Amino acid sequence: MDIVLQQLVNGLTLGSVYGLIAIGYTMVYGIIGMINFAHGDVYMVSAYITAIAIALLTFFGIESFPIIIIGTLFLTVAVTGAYGWVIERIAYRPLRNSSRLSVLISAIGMSLILQNYVQLSQGANQQGVPTLLTGAIRFSVGDGFVQITYMKLMILLISLLGMGILTYVIQKTKLGRMCRATQQDRKMASILGIDTDKVISTVFVIGAMMAALAGVLITLDYGAFDFYVGFIIGIKAFTAAVLGGIGSLPGAMLGGLILGLSEALFAGLISSDYKDVFSFSLLVLILIIRPSGLLGKPEVEKV
């Protein structure tokens, strides 16, 4: 029983982070109908920036934990957002009217570029960040106990906050209305005076920023990362986006939570060696059985 509860806690935090990354996939897919294959690597870049930001902040003599966290979040989100913009500008905008295959291949190329660029500049070794936040709340359940570390609480709070802000921006602000209009009908939106290229860029920046949020949180929690971490977590976040219904924002968050919980339960109860196989198989199954996901609308191909 305590294992199940513990895995539920772990799965909830993992799932909220998957949800954050899945937002990037789902928004980009919703607006230009492409899978941003390099999104997982944007997450990886943000993990490196997190470690660099922490190292820089401690180098300048800042000791207090809240300032380090806020400073790291701010720096990482800003720089990763710039990466999102540049990637879109270089690799995707020139292909706006090309076939889907071309854009996807370009995205795969971008993913390879990012991985190798980070590997060349930072080395292939695993890197790490120091543990900044220790301590936990414990509940005793039956014979054992369930432990919720403060770090996990912080992950949950910050990712909920991030999703809340994003939902507000999309639902209530002018920028959000522009995004939604472009998503519904790009040509119509541009006729009505919306600079759709700018909106698409903004969506990429938002996606990268959400991935950066996830990057900071996961890196602080796990402590270790290398240039290859983006691949697996990228596919899992994509699975989450598809599970929730690609193109749907609440779907991405819901899909992230479901995937995180089921993966944690699978790892705890059945086999942790095969947990990646489980996620990939889940992805394949969803795409076969219900490609529109839980909250998505079925896609009709038109001539």
Binding site for another protein (CB under 8 A): 33-35, 45, 48-49, 51-53, 55-56, 58-59, 75, 79, 82-83, 86, 90-91, 94-95, 98-106, 108-123, 127-130, 231, 235, 238, 242, 273-274, 276-277, 280-281, 283-284, 287-288, 291, 301, 303
Contact 227, 275 (CB under 8 A): no
Smallest gap from residue 251 Cβ to another protein (A):
15
The three state secondary structure string of 43-78 is HHHHHHHHHHHHHHHHHCCCCCHHHHHHHHHHHHHH
Angle at CA 43, nearest 5°, toward 206 and 103?
70
Question: Of 269 and 277, which has the nearer Cβ to another protein?
Answer: 277
Distance CA 34, CA 103 (A): 7
Question: Of 146 and 220, which has the nearer Cβ to another protein?
Answer: 220
Question: Of 113 and 154, which has the nearer Cβ to another protein?
Answer: 113
Smallest gap from residue 109 Cβ to another protein (A):
3
Distance CA 230, CA 212 (A): 12
Question: Of 7 and 83, which has the nearer Cβ to another protein?
Answer: 83
Smallest gap from residue 105 Cβ to another protein (A):
5
Smallest gap from residue 266 Cβ to another protein (A):
14
Question: Of 82 and 269, which has the nearer Cβ to another protein?
Answer: 82
What's the farthest any 2 CA atoms get from each other in the chain?
66
Counting beta carbons within 10 angstroms of the beta carbon of residue 104, is it exposed (0 to 12), middle (13 to 18) or buried (19 or more)? middle
Distance CA 26, CA 241 (A): 6
Smallest gap from residue 207 Cβ to another protein (A):
16
Question: Of 143 and 301, which has the nearer Cβ to another protein?
Answer: 301
Neighbours of 8 (CB within 10 A): 15
Question: Of 6 and 115, which has the nearer Cβ to another protein?
Answer: 115
Smallest gap from residue 139 Cβ to another protein (A):
33
Q: Which residues contact 192 (CB under 8 A, 6 or more apart)?
A: 181
Contact 84, 42 (CB under 8 A): yes
Q: What are the start-end ranges of the E strands in 38-99?
A: none
Smallest gap from residue 103 Cβ to another protein (A):
7
Distance of CA 233 to the CA centre of its chain: 8
Cα dihedral value 247, 186, 114, 235, nearest 10: 20
Question: Of 5 and 69, which has the nearer Cβ to another protein?
Answer: 69
Which residue in this structure is represented by tokens 């790892």? 267
Smallest gap from residue 176 Cβ to another protein (A):
25
Structural Rg of the chain based on CA atoms: 19
Distance of CA 149 to the CA centre of its chain: 22
